[in-house]
Amino acid sequence: MLDSDRKLAEFLRGLSRYTGLTLRPAIGVIAGFFGGRYLDNLWETGPLLAIAGVLAGLALGLAALYREAMKEVKREQNKK
């Protein structure tokens, strides 16, 4: 494999990884909203569960992002 091919492959792996990391909070918020909205319609609770779902999705997404960031920090420290 050529050096330029290896660099391109490494770049694409990093791009894929970090794109996935940035999408986690967004997907959590969207899933929380629609799940909460469904439960709001089912139990007639107004927007309460949709708001709670958005907040829970955001918290879970950010927690996953934090865990991945800490793994990356440990990985970088082990390289040195």
Predicted confidence (pLDDT) per residue in 13-49, tens digit = 988 888 888 898 999 999 999 999 999 999 999 999 9
DSSP the chain: --HHHHHHHHHHHHHHHHHHHHHHHHHHHHHHHHHHHHHHHHHT-TTHHHHHHHHHHHHHHHHHHHHHHHHHHHHHHHH-
Domain extent at residue 52: 24-79
Residue 1 pLDDT > 80: no
Q: Work out the number of other CB atoms within 10 angstroms of the CB of residue 51.
A: 15
Report the pLDDT value the prediction gives residue 3, as an integer from 0 to 100.
86
Q: Mean of the per-residue pLDDT values for the chain?
A: 92
Burial status of residue 70 (CB atoms within 10 A of its CB: 0-12, 13-18, 19 or more): exposed
pLDDT on residue 51: 97
**How many domains is the chain built from?**
1
What pLDDT sits at residue 43? 97
Instruction: Extract the tokens encoding 20.
Output: 């996935």
Q: Is residue 33 part of a domain?
A: yes
| Structural domain contains residue 30 | yes
